Amino acid sequence: MKGNGQQIYIQEVVTRDGFQNECEFVDTAKKIRLVDQLSDCGFAKIEVSSFTSPKAIPALRDAEEVMQGIKRNPGVEYTALVPNVRGAERALACAVDEANLVMSTSESHNLSNLRMTREQSFSGLKQVIEELAPTDIAINVSLSTVFGCPMEGDVELDTVMSWAERFAELGVRGITLCDTTGMAYPTQVGDVVHAFKQRFSDLQLTVHLHNTRGMALSNALAAIDGGADRFDGALGGLGGCPYAPGASGNVCTEDLVHMLELMGYHTGVDLDRALSASSLLPGLVLREVPSQVLKAGKRLDLHPVPEFVRERLASSLA
């Protein structure tokens, strides 16, 4: 088998990245129950919510209630998106394990998404890092549009590396390379991940993929070939980017786990439990979700043999 038991860490982001774009507000108690269910699935991290302004993301206006209401599994890290110092203060009050900071490597996308230049974002995130530095909260920085911007096209690798370097110098634990707009393709992903691993071997690297053009699973395999061993995924394939025309959801967690386990990689994720949690999503967001394995079942979920076929087989063996 290709994977030979290699450990691949899966980080679940559905209750943040998945729910933030949904029109239907998911009830707080239902969010808490879902996170508790996810806690028993074997994920390395769960991104629970976002401490963004409730006016900006009303779907996650209950971040405190959710973070304070969940049951903590000691084998799971509970993370949240933290956009600014005020968000950092809220995260501290909720005792998150990790703060996930976000900015774009594309100037146009950063202005569209965050209403700031990249330098303004960096200055603000530096303040967040300084605020959290005396605490036990780990810091991860998600760099968006690493693999392409819908307004500028390709983002130079040197640009990506430069921003990663600036955050590494501030002492962050990890960097996430984000295909925010679903523009990545496999050879590109492999090359970028390999270059990143060569330069920043001490940083925890996560790859965040979207399936906008149907290449998320292929891109994941290319990222592994490049040296990645940690991926964000969204149950059901939920999520998207409001500033990427036609963008669809994140790589579907259960589809990714299903593929990797078949190939001999070890994710530690209980796929049956993950599918059970995913089956709740259509009732929560009031629409069908993109998950393929949820629709078709696992590869070896066999079906009953039709009676006429059973009779034909029996007669042929008589």
Q: What was the pLDDT predicted at 244?
A: 56
Region 77-82: mean pLDDT is 98
Structure tokens given for 19:
């729910």
User: Is the per-residue pLDDT at 34 higher than 90?
Assistant: yes
pLDDT at 246 over 60: no
Give pLDDT tens digits for 36-66. 999 999 999 999 999 999 999 999 999 999 9
Reported as a single tens digit per residue, the pLDDT across 116-132 is 999 999 999 999 999 99
pLDDT of residue 316: 87
Confidence of residue 81 (pLDDT cuts 50, 70, 90): very high
Active site residues: 241
Q: Provide the angle, in degrees to the nearest 10, between the axes of the packed helices 216-226 and 253-262.
A: 50
In the prediction, which pLDDT does 76 show? Answer: 98
Task: Check residue 23 and give its pLDDT.
Answer: 87
Q: What does the pLDDT read at residue 275?
A: 98
Average pLDDT of the chain to the nearest whole number: 95
- Does 245 score more than 70 pLDDT? no
For residue 248, pLDDT over 80 is answered with no
Q: Tell me the two tokens of residue 300.
A: 């070896």
Give residue for tokens 């490597």.
Answer: 105
- For position 240, what pLDDT does the model report? 72
Does the pLDDT at position 100 exceed 70? yes
Nearest residue to 132 via CA among 181, 99, 168: 99
Report residue 34 as tokens.
């879902």
Q: Out of 19-28, 136-145, 195-204, 216-225, pick the least confident.
A: 19-28
Q: How far is CA 32 from the centre of its chain?
A: 18
